[in-house]
């Protein structure tokens, strides 16, 4: 039964869209989505164990864009949220991303669902209800593109209140961290050399994969110091790079990244407590501690600036007011102030892709290819050993073409 009550395909249209999106057909027993439930109150932790088609049960007020994109990339069959996915404080971006991806979103079902469901329980989501067998275990608000659009418009009215709160948090942060912001007091000594170099700070945030791909010619030519902020280190490794430094609280970075040979800087609380240090030591790795009330991405920029980096290029970081609010934390005031501190050194990856062009012009490359081709043809034609040389030259030519295409990828 469709939402309009018409007797058609018993599977909702959103289910069909999600099935096509993720390429995996789910078993349906009755209308709705039937799948295994995975539960965690922290969305970031849950995405590490989600499999395609699972139903994610979370407790996430105002789902932000990064969390929504992570859920989409995991291929979830549906999302059940204990809390309001869009509370009205500000127009957060996550719910719209989920719904537009064809993922059913059931909102505000209440915390009791964590007591009624266990990890691995097979549940059915149909309309505004969650079933285990034939029993309804929770009900909530089933979002559509129309309800999300209405909620976003209503939330825009709350931006002024959020802005006032943001300014207040900013002033409080200035009082606590003025020595760090003004004089760099508290920045630890590191072995990685930054003086006179570019630094590339990678956060697993907005469009980080696309930005890293766009920056390949820049990375190849300038060889910047590669800094992975928590999971940003894994993003670099997956792109084929080895990070020189990893900074963060170590809650979303893999063991592979932590043991890749990069220098590790553990972001600690202002009082010096560093929960992530235990994990580093368990892997028999050494680390330095950076106590600060700032975010980990801010620590990376402050460290690179203090150690003499000539330019800081940011990938996946928060760059504007909407993104600051979408992060959903008061600590984002430090991000605003860090950008004031770093100043003209900081460039967003998208700006680099627009401003930077390879020093090797297209005409020079074409001339080089033509010259190499003519040289090989002449050499083969006049050589008495051409039957021996020809296979070698063909192999070299293929290797050259592979190298050449690297300038355009």
pLDDT digits (tens, 9 = 90+) for 303-340: 999 999 999 999 987 655 555 555 555 545 566 677 77
Q: What backbone torsions phi and psi does residue 208 show, to the nearest 5 degrees? A: -65, -35
Q: What tokens appear for 252 in the block?
A: 């979303």
Query: Is the Cβ–Cβ distance between 265 and 190 less than 8 Å?
Result: yes
pLDDT of residue 294: 78
| N-term to C-term CA, the chain | 48
- Whose structure tokens read 């009205």? 88
Residues 6 or more apart from 211 whose CB is under 8 A from it?
315, 316, 349, 350, 353
What pLDDT sits at residue 239?
A: 93
Q: What are phi and psi of 269, to 5 degrees?
A: -65, 165
Whether residue 275 has pLDDT greater than 50:
yes
Q: What is the pLDDT of residues 88-143, one digit of tens each?
A: 877 888 999 999 999 999 999 999 999 999 999 999 999 999 999 999 999 999 99
Name the DSSP letter for residue 189. Answer: P
- Under 8 Å between Cβ of 187 and 179: no
Instruction: Measure the CA–CA gap between 343 and 312, rounded to whole angstroms.
Output: 10
| Mean pLDDT score, 82-89 | 89
Residue pair 109/139 in contact (Cβ under 8 Å)? The answer is: yes
Calpha distance 129→142 (Å, rounded):
9
Band (400; pLDDT cuts 50, 70, 90): low
- Furthest CA-CA distance within the chain: 85
pLDDT of residue 380: 65
Is pLDDT of 382 > 80?
A: no
Rounded CA-CA distance 299/191 in Å is 16
- CATH top class, domain 13-143: alpha beta
Q: 355 vs 182, which has greater pLDDT?
A: 182
For 56, 80, 85, 138, 176, the CA distances from 109, given in Å and listed in that order, are 13, 7, 11, 6, 39
């Amino acid at each position: 039964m469709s939402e309009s009550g018409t007797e058609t395909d018993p599977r909702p249209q959103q289910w069909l869209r999600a099935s096509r999106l993720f390429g995996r057909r789910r078993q349906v027993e009755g209308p709705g989505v039937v799948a295994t439930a995975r539960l965690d109150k922290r969305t970031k932790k849950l995405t590490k164990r989600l499999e395609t088609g699972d139903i994610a049960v979370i407790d996430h007020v105002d789902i932000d864009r990064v969390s929504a994109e992570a859920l989409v990339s995991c291929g979830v069959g549906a999302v059940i949220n204990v809390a309001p996915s869009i509370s009205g404080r500000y127009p957060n971006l996550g719910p719209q991303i989920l719904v537009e991806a064809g993922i059913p979103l059931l909102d505000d079902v209440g915390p009791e669902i964590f007591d009624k469901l266990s990890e691995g329980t097979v549940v059915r989501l149909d309309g505004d209800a969650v079933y285990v067998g034939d029993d309804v275990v929770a009900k909530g608000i089933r979002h559509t593109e129309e309800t999300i659009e209405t909620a976003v418009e209503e939330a825009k009215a709350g931006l002024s209140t959020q802005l006032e709160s943001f300014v207040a948090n900013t002033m409080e942060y200035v009082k606590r961290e003025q020595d760090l912001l003004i004089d760099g007091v508290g920045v630890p000594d590191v072995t990685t050399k930054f003086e006179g170099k570019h630094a590339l700070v990678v956060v697993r945030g907005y469009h980080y994969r696309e930005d890293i791909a766009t920056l390949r010619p820049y990375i190849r030519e300038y060889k910047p110091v590669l800094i992975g902020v928590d999971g940003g280190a894994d993003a670099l490794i997956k792109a084929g790079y080895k990070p020189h430094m990893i900074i963060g609280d170590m809650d979303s970075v893999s063991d592979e990244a932590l043991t890749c040979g990069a220098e590790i800087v553990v972001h600690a609380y202002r009082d010096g407590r560093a929960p992530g240090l235990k994990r580093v030591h368990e892997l028999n790795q050494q680390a330095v501690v950076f106590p600060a009330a700032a975010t980990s991405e801010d620590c990376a920029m402050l460290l690179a600036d203090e150690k003499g980096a000539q330019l800081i290029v940011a990938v996946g970081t928060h760059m504007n007011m909407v993104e600051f609010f979408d992060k959903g934390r008061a600590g984002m005031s430090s991000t605003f102030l860090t950008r004031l501190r770093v100043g003209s050194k900081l460039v967003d990856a998208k700006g680099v892709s627009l401003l930077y062009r390879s020093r090797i012009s297209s005409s020079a490359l074409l001339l080089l290819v033509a010259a190499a081709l003519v040289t090989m043809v002449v050499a083969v034609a006049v050589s008495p050993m051409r039957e021996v040389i020809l296979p070698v030259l063909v192999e070299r030519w293929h290797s050259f073409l592979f190298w050449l295409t690297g300038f355009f990828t």
